Amino acid sequence: MTAARAWHLLTAVVASAALVLQLVLVINGDAILVDHDPPNLLHRLLRFVAYFTVESNILVLVTTARLARDPAYDGPRWRVVRIAAVSGITVTGLVHWFLLRPLLHLDGADLVADKLLHLAVPLLAVVGWLLFGPRPRVDWPACLRAAGWPVVWLVVMLGSGALTGWYPYPFLDHREHGWGHVVVVCIGVFVLFFALFAAMREYEVRARPAPATDG
């Protein structure tokens, strides 16, 4: 097994374990990321898949599982999904570290799931992309298409939050700090996304193609 295949497989296994553990905790009614007052099971499951953290981890799982089979896999749609996975999981890690981590007080299995979803998987995914790509794969048309996912996610979360009163993350709740704060945070996150796209593109221009033709 090549180093690229081994790394992608490890990332997929860790992402799978993290998602399964968090799902079990959700089903059992434990702390759901930042939600400490879980509703009934159906709503808990719906909220579980609504978290950007969970969705980005799923994208990492899907893409790295595919790359574990073929580290050089390519295709127009695939490029969009891969860019979305890498940028999304990077934003997940950064937003958690700077905005959410100070708000969380977890222990036991909840703490393990939190660290896997927000730290271990982002680190594995980003390092895997830096080392093994595949590249070149990043171009601006694909980046703009990949940006559609967080835009749609944000619109849906703000709309559903206005109807139900539940928001997946505190910084989206206008009742806490007002709409001005929400708008500023959202703009900041999207600036971060496009900064990541630019950084990914620049890195690909400077780095060697990967994986190597012999592995």
Kindly list the domain boundaries of the chain, sorted by start residue: 3-206
pLDDT at res. 105: 76
158 Cβ neighbours under 8 A, 6+ residues apart = 167, 172, 182
- The verdict on pTM exceeding 0.85 is yes
Distance CA(93)–CA(113), nearest Å, equals 13
pLDDT at res. 62: 98
Q: % helix / strand / coil in the chain, to the nearest 5?
A: 75, 0, 20
- Nearest residue to 100 via CA among 85, 115, 87: 115
pLDDT at res. 97: 84
Is there a contact between 138 and 79 (Cβ–Cβ < 8 Å)? yes
Count other C-beta atoms under 10 Å from residue 138's C-beta.
24
pLDDT at res. 37: 62
pLDDT at res. 38: 63
Q: Which residues of the chain have pLDDT under 70?
A: 31-38, 213-215
What are the phi and psi torsion angles at 35 (to 5°)? -105, 110
Measured over the CA atoms of residue 150, residue 123, residue 120 and residue 173, the dihedral's sign is: negative
pLDDT at res. 215: 41
- Nearest residue to 51 via CA among 82, 14, 81, 91: 91
pLDDT at res. 39: 80
- Nearest residue to 156 via CA among 168, 171, 141: 168
182 Cβ neighbours under 8 A, 6+ residues apart = 158, 171, 172, 173, 174
52 Cβ neighbours under 8 A, 6+ residues apart = 88, 91, 92, 150, 153, 168, 169
pLDDT at res. 74: 95
